[in-house]
């Protein structure tokens, strides 16, 4: 039983509260640890069976005793910090749960974790997480029936609800945007018609295409990092196409692509943006500098220069992009907050302009599509779809993202504490159909989280 156990939760981000609530309701005492004590206290305040501590995981003398005192460790920190947590957990033989992909640094610890007999359950959030649970379900059903998966495509997007997608990018941040923006420069790789296809990071936004999986929304999709490994993870060597993508509203890629072209994604430190710089700098002056123009360049001239540089835009896109850049303020005489690099300077203004306001909601859209060849030769298409809206922003409310990451994490923690997951070392929901079924069923029964599944049969044309 999990009741009476102690969990150490590292991190105090927006996905933590639903996980803490679910675990404390199940009788697990949760200690929330953050470098900033007030951040941890904000999560535990008013919740029974919880406590908050200040902890810097870079300090092993502080981390080790906290890990040793717990029955399980939950790392909701950035993925780059998981390895340090798992090393401590190996030393003290404590299981670990994360919502992140299994990184190379974690794979390097796989044999050590197995040797001491601990489970390190990863990829149990939303994407990765819930997506795995339903991919494995359909694939297992098709294989058991003797069929083959000839194509697997999956798209997922964390978006504002349509009524709240009220800025030119159709996007809002509930956390610091830096990581989200840098992810827009990640290269993509996938299987297409039996061959590996790829797109370079600088071309990612150019690869975006209209997506009709959700016809009620105007969405576009682009590749989500490296999907090649999923042919092996999901045990579908027969699949000619294996693709995973990200969803955004129409118009988003063109604005991002233009910002990159201007130079606003540069992480280079610029002297005029230094914190100790005494001379004020306006947005129009910064934009002019990035374009290699005079600081006195007029707004109209700046707009013309942007469109000359962003020659890939159509006439309709050009008007929308210039309007978007104007909304951000890139042609204005407003003074810039100095943050060292163009990227960090841009992040500071987007964090303010693109934040969720009171009463607004986020939305998660996820769909898997499977092309199936049955043993009788009939072809069919199966889909698994989820549309989830968050609660309107208010004190104590839960966003769709927080719910769909935090609750699967809690389900995984409870399964490990009960001993329901026997596998040791690095484990993920795709490790076995049994693990996926266990976690999927509990999410459905306890938290009403599930994907809607449909299938259509491709009928051959009849000639009379």
User: Strands, E, within 186-339: which ranges?
Assistant: 188-192, 195-199, 209-211, 219-223, 241-249
Nearest one of 346, 178, 177 to 259, comparing CA atoms: 346
Residue found by looking up tokens 């150019």 in the block: 206
Q: Which residues are catalytic?
A: 127
Residues 6+ apart with CB under 8 A from 427: 119, 120, 121, 122, 421, 435
User: Token digits for 202?
Assistant: 């600088």
Cis peptide leading into residue 128 (ω within 30°): yes
Nearest one of 392, 372, 371, 259 to 313, comparing CA atoms: 259
Rg (alpha carbons) of the chain, rounded to whole number? 24
User: Token digits for 136?
Assistant: 């494995």
Separation CA 62–CA 344 (nearest Å):
31
Nearest one of 195, 350, 198, 322 to 265, comparing CA atoms: 350
User: Token digits for 454?
Assistant: 């449909």
Alpha helix stretches (DSSP H) within 195-298: 230-233, 252-262, 283-291
Separation CA 227–CA 211 (nearest Å):
18
Beta carbons of 383 and 455 less than 8 angstroms apart? yes
Residues 6+ apart with CB under 8 A from 73: 7, 8, 10, 67, 85, 88, 89, 94, 95, 96, 97
């Amino acid at each position: 039983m999990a009741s009476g156990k102690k969990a150490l939760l590292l991190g105090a981000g927006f996905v933590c509260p639903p996980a803490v609530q679910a675990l404390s309701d199940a009788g697990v005492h949760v200690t929330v640890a953050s470098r900033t004590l007030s951040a941890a206290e904000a999560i535990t305040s008013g919740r029974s069976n919880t406590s908050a501590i200040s902890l810097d995981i870079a300090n092993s003398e502080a981390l080790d005793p906290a890990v040793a005192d717990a029955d399980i460790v939950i790392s909701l920190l950035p993925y780059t910090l998981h390895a340090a947590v798992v090393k401590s957990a190996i030393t003290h033989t404590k299981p670990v749960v994360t919502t992140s992909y299994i990184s190379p640094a974690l794979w390097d610890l796989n044999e050590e974790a197995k040797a001491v007999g601990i489970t390190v359950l990863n990829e149990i959030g939303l994407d990765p997480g819930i997506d795995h649970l339903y991919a494995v379900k359909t694939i297992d059903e098709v294989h058991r029936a003797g069929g083959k998966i000839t194509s697997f495509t999956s798209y997922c997007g964390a978006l504002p609800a349509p009524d709240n997608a009220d800025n030119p990018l159709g996007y809002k941040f509930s956390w610091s945007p830096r990581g989200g923006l840098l992810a827009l420069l990640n290269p993509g790789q996938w299987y297409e018609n039996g061959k590996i296809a790829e797109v370079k990071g600088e071309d990612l936004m150019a690869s975006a295409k209209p997506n009709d999986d959700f016809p009620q929304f105007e969405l576009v999709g682009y590749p989500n990092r490296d999907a090649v490994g999923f042919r092996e993870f999901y045990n579908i060597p027969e699949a000619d196409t294996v693709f995973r993508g990200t969803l955004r509203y129409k118009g988003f890629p063109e604005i991002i692509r233009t910002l990159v072209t201007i130079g606003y994604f540069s992480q280079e430190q610029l002297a005029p943006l230094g914190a100790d710089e005494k001379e004020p700098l306006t947005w129009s002056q910064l934009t002019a500098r990035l374009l290699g123009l005079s600081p006195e360049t007029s707004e109209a001239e700046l707009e013309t220069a942007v469109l000359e540089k962003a020659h890939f835009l159509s006439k309709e896109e050009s008007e929308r992009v210039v309007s978007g850049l104007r909304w951000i303020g890139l042609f204005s005489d407003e003074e810039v907050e100095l943050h060292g690099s163009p990227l960090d300077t841009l992040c500071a203004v987007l964090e303010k302009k693109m934040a969720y306001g009171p009463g607004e909601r986020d939305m998660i859209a996820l769909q898997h599509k499977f092309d199936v060849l049955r043993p009788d030769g009939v072809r069919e298409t199966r889909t698994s779809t989820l549309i989830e809206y968050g609660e309107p922003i208010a004190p104590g409310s839960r966003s769709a993202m927080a719910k769909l990451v935090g609750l699967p994490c809690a389900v995984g923690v409870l399964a490990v504490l009960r001993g329901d997951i026997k596998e040791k070392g690095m484990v993920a929901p795709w490790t076995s159909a049994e693990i996926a079924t266990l976690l999927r069923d509990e999410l459905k029964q306890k938290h009403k989280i599930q994907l809607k599944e449909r299938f259509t049969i491709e009928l051959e044309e009849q000639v009379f």
